[in-house]
Structure formats: C-alpha cells, structure tokens
Structure 1
Amino acid sequence: MAAILEKWEVGPHGPLVDIDEGLMTVEGEIVMPLGRFPRRMTVIALEGGGTAVWSAIALHEPEMERIESLGTPRFLIVPNQAHRLDSRIWKRRYPGMQVLAPPSGRNKVAEAVPVDATVDIIGDPALVLAKIAGAKLDEFALQVHRPSGTTLILNDVIGHVRHPHGIGAWLLARLMGFGVNGPRVPRIVRRMMIDDPHALAAQLRDWAALPDLKRIIVSHGEPIEDDPAAALRKVADSLD
C-alpha cells in the first residue's frame, strides 16, 4: 500500500473534465518504474451546496480553484482502504470535510485521516452510496443521478486501463488484468477482494438494468461511455 502523503505533492495529471451537470473528473498518474499508472478522482456537486470528492488527488492550483468554484468540498469519499494516499492532505486543506470509508477499510483509512462515517451521511437524494456486493474487503460504489442520466462511479472492482503509459505500467495492467482490452474485474481484485463472485455478478446486472445508465467512471482507466450496460453484463458473465 502506498505511503500517505504528508504535504501537498502534485503528481502528473490531466485537465478536469466536465462530464455532466455538476460532475467533473480528472485522471492522474502514479509514477512507477518504467511507466505511469492511471488513477482518477471525481467531484460531485451536491444539492445542498458544496461538493463530494471521490478518491482524492492533489491537483495544481488552477484545477483546485475550479473544484472550489463548483462548491466547497464537504465530503471526502475514500472508496476502499487502498485509496487513502491523498486523504490526509485534503483534510488538512479542507478541515471541515467529513470523511467516509467502507466498514472493513475504516481502520486503515483512519491511519491517514479520521473517519466520520462508514455509511452514507451525504444526504443528497440524487446520490446512492453503497458497498459493492460479494466483497471480503469492502468497497464503495456511487450512483449520481442527473436529468441527462445516471453516472455509476466504481473504484477498483472494474479496471479499464486501455492505454497504460510506459512498459512498466503496460506490464502491470496486463499481468494484473486491469482491462487493457476492455472493462473487466482485475485479477488481483478478484483474488484479494472478492469472496462471492456470483453476488457481485448479480449486482453488476442490477446496475446494467438502470434505465438511464449513461456512463461508468472507474478509478483506474477511462470512463465507459459506449453502451455501459452491455459492458456491465459482459463483466458479470465473466464472473459466473
């Protein structure tokens, strides 16, 4: 598990992209030997004002100002215990943020930042925060409902790293199955995090049945916007 950042260290990242009303995402990169592995943060505007930040990444100041213009960061969602790298520095920058972590990850996340809740305390009717099914290591998933459709935000349970940068990242994505050829449950995630693949498959099919599903955002890789329901069904079939 990566070290916890103690100061505002900005790694390589792209621009913040507006993907829907009050919904922005940005791809950062984890520098590794002979490559850079993608990671992603998503920022959601809340009905009552402010924003929720999913899987926080430190950005350069112009992008941070864009986030603040969307709304003061009020909630920091650490979707599983491995995604705590930037949590401490975000809490220091925005001390009023409340931190959410899934139940089995609470103690590990608390090593980086105090955890306020392990359930949904956001209170926005347009958001549905829940644990993924079939996991022995808890992980959150988030539905964001907008007039144009629903965005499903997932974390490690599906990878979609189509274009890893560098031979090291390419080998990692290939060997661990992070979706170089299309969305899939990474091999390492299935081995270490999932104990009931059939329950997970059923949940993926339930999400696929959402009538207005518009896209899927994953924490490692590109958003899935080309028939996301079919992508979920295909991943579910691979688990049965």
Structure 2
Amino acid sequence: MGTGYEPLEVLKPVADDIWIVDGPEIRFYGMPFSTRMTVVRLSGGGLWIHSPIKLSLALKARIAALGQVKALIAPSVIHYAYLTDWKHAFPEAEAWIAPGVERRAERHGIPLEFDHYLAGANPDWAADFDWLVVRGSKTVAEAVFHHRASRTLILTDLIENFEKDKKPWWMWPILRATGIAAPNGSMPRDMRMTFRGNEDLLREDIERMIDWDPKRVIVAHGRWFEDNGAAELKRAFGWLLDG
C-alpha cells in the first residue's frame, strides 16, 4: 500500500515560488504516517526547505535543478531526523532548528549538524515570512511560517488531517478519537494535553496566525487545505478559541 500521495519525491506546485514534496511513510507510535516537506524560492534568491524528508539521489537532483539551497528548517522535535543528511548534501545551506531539537537528537543518538537556533533569531529569509515559535507546550515547540507572497501557512503537527481512504481500516477509529481525521483535522488530543495550563499562550499564537489571513494551510501529515485557510484555523482550533 502506498501513501496515497504519489508521486513521491516530486515537486508539486502550490503557488508561485512554493512547492510541496510528498515523501515515504514513516512509523510513528506504530502507525504509518505520510511525510511532506515544503520548498520556497526566496525573493532574494535561493531555496528555503521546511521539514526535509528522506533524501534520495533523485530528489537531490530535482532540488539542485530548482536552485541553490540557502536554508534548511527543522521546525520541531518531531521533524528533524533528515536535517543532517540534507546539510551534507547541500553544505552551502544554513540549517535552523526549533527549541528542543538538539536535546531530542542527543537523547535518541541521531547525528545533528546545524548552524542556528530559530528562537530569538532574525534571519535574512525572514523578509519573506511571518513566523513564530508557538508557545505553551511542555514538550513540543513548533515553529510556524506564513509565506506572505503566496499567503500560505506552513505547519507540521499543529494540525493533522488524515484521509480515510489513504490509511488501513484499523487506524480510522484511532484517527477519529484523536481528532485528526479529515476533513475535520485538528491538533492531536495528546498534543493538546502538553499545553495544559498554558492555553492562553497557545490562543494568542493561534490568533496571530489567523490575523496573518492565510489562504492556504500546508500540514505535514494528511490532506492540506488549499483555500479558506484562516477559516480552517478557526475551525481546527474552535476547542481553544471558543473555550
């Protein structure tokens, strides 16, 4: 069974100067998870790559043909495993990591090479993005990015939106119970619990994303939202905003 997002390792246009690349499945909590990265051509030249997927020779060639890689982004402690492979393949790129990634990699014995921390940084590529590191979680600090020119919000796990026809039958009750079943994907309920006691900080950051007024919302796992992005954020976080 494939991921349901074939063809894999191929650049798929989202809007001008922004693409997604669907990658192979990984196992997470024993379940098959699809993977996805986002590629942006920066206004100043070069490529910005978010949540790099497993790197193959074919994918490396396609990226190199598109342009020079300037930035590699590991946006959370769940999305960093292939960063070093990409850093070796594109040594001219600067690698950026979210809070907690360095400690997580050390704990799991995963090699990690990077150049900068995202927290408190003001990188050159920030001219193309609104962005922030979401506050309040006791375990996961996800960095989120809004590409202004295309009005595309780029997330990883703050919203997951798995489609029934792309998953084995036994996963569907789990996906529905955890609130991550399409078309009504949301933040996984186990992740919500990590914000307990700090909901006000999360609410402020979600409201800020809504104020960016994204047209699209890219997520790493499942169906992404091609339009009505701000409305989808309000729906997905209704449990927080209406509380």
Which position in structure 1 is the counterpart of 2:13? 18
- What is the aligned residue count? 227
Q: CA deviation at 1:91?
A: 1.6
CA shift digits 1:61-114 (9 cap, x unpaired): 444333222221221111111212212211221223222112233322464312
Q: Is the 8 A contact 2:76 2:99 kept in 1?
A: no
Within-5 A mapping of 1:160-199:
160-163=161-164, 164-167=166-169, 169-170=171-172, 172-192=174-194, 196-199=198-201
Which position in structure 1 is the counterpart of 2:145? 142
Q: Is the 8 A contact 1:91 1:113 kept in 2?
A: no
Structure 2 counterpart of 1:48, from 44, 47, 51:
44
Q: Where in structure 2 are there 5+ consecutive unaligned residues? A: 1-6
CA distance in 2, matches of 1:105, 1:75: 17
* SS of aligned partner of 1:238: helix
Q: CA deviation at 1:178?
A: 2.3
CA distance in 1, matches of 2:64, 2:87: 14
CA distance in 2, matches of 1:42, 1:202: 25
Q: CA deviation at 1:209?
A: 2.7
CA distance in 1, matches of 2:100, 2:27: 28
TM-score, reference length from structure 1: 0.81
CA distance in 1, matches of 2:116, 2:124: 13
CA distance in 2, matches of 1:151, 1:145: 7
CA shift digits 1:124-150 (9 cap, x unpaired): 21123320132223111011111xx41
Q: Is the 8 A contact 1:32 1:168 kept in 2?
A: no
Q: Is the 8 A contact 1:173 1:179 kept in 2?
A: yes
Which position in structure 1 is the counterpart of 2:3? none
Which position in structure 1 is the counterpart of 2:234? 233
The 1:138/1:32 distance shift into structure 2, 3 A limit, reads: closer
Q: CA deviation at 1:42?
A: 0.5
Q: Is the 8 A contact 1:105 1:138 kept in 2?
A: no
CA distance in 1, matches of 2:151, 2:134: 17
Q: CA deviation at 1:121?
A: 5.0
Residue identity opposite 1:29 in structure 2: P
Which position in structure 2 is the counterpart of 1:114? 113
TM-score, reference length from structure 2: 0.80
* SS of aligned partner of 2:224: coil
Q: Is the 8 A contact 1:179 1:186 kept in 2?
A: no
Q: Give me the CA root mean square deviation.
A: 2.7
Which position in structure 1 is the counterpart of 2:23? 28
Q: CA deviation at 1:169?
A: 4.7
The 1:45/1:195 distance shift into structure 2, 3 A limit, reads: farther
* SS of aligned partner of 2:87: helix
Q: Is the 8 A contact 1:22 1:70 kept in 2?
A: no
Q: Where in structure 1 are there 5+ consecutive unaligned residues? A: 1-11
The 1:194/1:151 distance shift into structure 2, 3 A limit, reads: farther
Q: Is the 8 A contact 2:210 2:234 kept in 1?
A: yes
* SS of aligned partner of 1:47: coil
